[in-house]
Amino acid sequence: MINIAIFASGSGTNAEAIMRHFEGSTRGRVALLLSNREDAYALKRAEGFGVPTAVFTREEFGEPGGRVASLLQEHGIDFIVLAGFLWLVPHYLTDAYAGRIVNIHPALLPKFGGRGMYGDRVHRAVIEAGERESGITIHWVNERYDSGDTIFQATVAVDADDTADTLAAKIHVLEHRHFPTVIEETIAGLSPIDTKQNTK
């Protein structure tokens, strides 16, 4: 059984879809949800599923061997999912969890990615650029924003009358439909790791 940690910064609808999906899974379970914001509704969603939660500061996130690393070790985390998490992941984590951290981006990378491109900012940029389609990209996480290798993409049409809100609604449908299943398929061949060695 692979222990999954979700990092989330906001409402947590993707986190909820993932937690619900893995409730009955024999491959993995969501063992921890971490957030950089005390007011993130994702924390409430996790509590509803009985998933342990914690809030951390930027200093605690960036420090090798610090609190975030200790939490991952304490909960035996084998795989990390970024679900609406906005901070750049530090090197010690991308190294320790190489090939074991995934993110979802609400556009078709490599377009409309990078620092500051999240949420409605992405959807507005897609519409302003006159794109006829958008979608989701699930990708590996490395030391740069939205630049890891693509695992999966799904597309949706951008209609002439779409707004950032209506396009976001279409994207959310794709996210909730595909992200949990792609995670499960991705962890299918993994085995638990020695987090005591890997997070220091």
Catalytic residue set: 105
| Of 3, 25, 22, the residue nearest 77 (C-alpha) | 3
DSSP string, 3-36: EEEEEESS--HHHHHHHHHHTT-SSEEEEEEEES
Residues 6 or more apart in contact with residue 1 via CB below 8 angstroms: 26, 27, 28, 29, 192
